[in-house]
Amino acid sequence: MLFTFSKCTGHAGSRIGWAIVKDERIARRMTKFIELSSIGVSKESQLRAAKILEVISDDGLQNFGFENFFEYSHRVMAERWERLREVVESSEIFRLPEYPEDFCNFNKELTRSCPGKNAPYV
């Protein structure tokens, strides 16, 4: 799963993306790539991103009395897509692609896709 701070945490100024990777070999190769290609990224941005990831990670492991970051993000995107679908369905001009339900390996449940980049098309 690939993410950017600007999309999911509201830290657009960081200009840093992140990923959840299960395969250790791929994760190590990605880390090496980051080491070689992040020369132009400020240390402050990297430290801020590391702290944000630490908080997100801790949130996934512990219950601080708040909704889990990933559950919250999924719920918000699903609600936004549902509202968008309602608006587009009342239009005779726009339509949205239909996505079938599929099994989510991250959440371990059957879920309807709520993609972030697909927009209504004519």
User: pLDDT tens digits, residue range 57-85?
Assistant: 776 666 666 677 777 877 888 888 888 88
User: What integer best gives the mean pLDDT of the chain?
Assistant: 75
Q: Which residues contact 6 (CB under 8 A, 6 or more apart)?
A: 12, 14, 15
Burial code (b: 16+ CB inside 10 Å, e: under 16) for 74-86 equals beebeeebeebee
Give me the mean pLDDT over the 39-50 stretch.
Answer: 77
In a domain, 40, yes or no: yes
Q: Are residues 49 and 91 in the same domain?
A: no
In a domain, 117, yes or no: no
- State the pLDDT confidence band at 52, using cuts at 50, 70 and 90: confident
Query: How many domains are there within the chain?
Result: 2
**Domain ranges, residue 53:** 2-61
